[in-house]
Amino acid sequence: MTSRRAAIGLIALGFSAFVSSTVVPVSSALALDYPTRPVRFVVGYPPGGATDILARLIGQRLSEKLGQQFIVENKPGAGNNIGTESVINAEPDGYTVLLVNPANYINATLYPKLSFNFVRDIAPVAAFHRTANVMTVNKDITAKTVAEFIAYVKANPGKVNLASSGNGTSVHLSGEMFMMMSGAKMQHVPYRGAAPAITDMMGGQVQLIFDNMPSIIQHIRSGNLRALAVTTTEKSPLLPDVPTVAETVPGYEASALFGMGAPKKTPPEIIAKLNTAVNEVLAEPAIKAKLIDLGGDPLIGPPEAFGKMIVAETEKWEKVVKAAGLKVE
């Protein structure tokens, strides 16, 4: 009897081992088939802007690579927060993702009453690229270098206006960081978007802007405005003769980091599959060339690397927002 029980026990153990070795966990099984229906790719801005263009560029190739449509869904409002919150509160099944952009890092401090904590509540999927802002002056400013401009501002207190595309934007905060680190104090003049700000730049009403590379570069190349420096730590291939701000103001870095995020509890297997697909897209020569045209080389790496970037960007902009005393209720 004892030997029979032992035999039954061995059979049970063997069956258990067989099951554990052959049954695929639910999340892994989902990842194998993912995606089986269209994916919502949420952008927190209206169509036509830099973030929207980037999402459509990456989304189109992901659609072709993964066999399901990545549908760009524009959800503007509250400085990007409405779109972000919709993703954070979405079902964590891989079928809703977010175009992560500089507003996400800035807003974490700028808006003290957010219903979410971006660093805690977003699952990083993959970084896309970093783009430079360009420190640009109008033709009335005689300064030809960053050092000369700082000296000019200090010699003309209250006479230099800093334009931006709106309060709390990366364009605005790049200028605030410059003032904080250089000691060159200017009056901030916010506009509803970059276009009217640039119009007034060329008209002489404002003297300086730290605008995004894609929207300012045509005006620099035409000679209507003059670039003094780029905000990245390295020179831009689009403006190879323009130095970096950091060459004059050590430690200055104000690039715009873009990528993809998902709701926090999205299965890691799906995150990994998306990350692999994004990295393959970023490595394509045609996509790389387009990203460079938008201002920066692709950033290929694992989700964990993008997560560290998100934390670093959030901490960096927190210092600037607090130093400038900025707040949006």
DSSP secondary structure letters along 256-295: EEEEEEEETT--HHHHHHHHHHHHHHHTSHHHHHHHHHTT
What does each of the 329 residues of the chain score in pLDDT, given as a tens digit?
445 554 444 444 454 454 445 554 555 655 779 999 999 999 999 898 889 999 999 999 999 999 999 999 999 999 999 999 999 999 999 999 999 999 999 999 999 999 999 999 999 999 999 999 999 999 999 999 999 999 999 999 999 999 999 999 999 999 999 999 999 999 999 998 888 999 999 999 999 999 999 889 999 999 999 999 999 999 999 999 999 999 999 999 999 999 999 999 999 999 999 999 999 999 999 999 999 988 889 999 999 999 999 999 999 999 999 999 998 87
CA distance 280 to 58: 11
pTM, 2 dp: 0.86
Residue 295 identity:
G
Q: Around 76, how many Cα atoms within 13 Å sit in the side-chain half-sphere?
A: 7
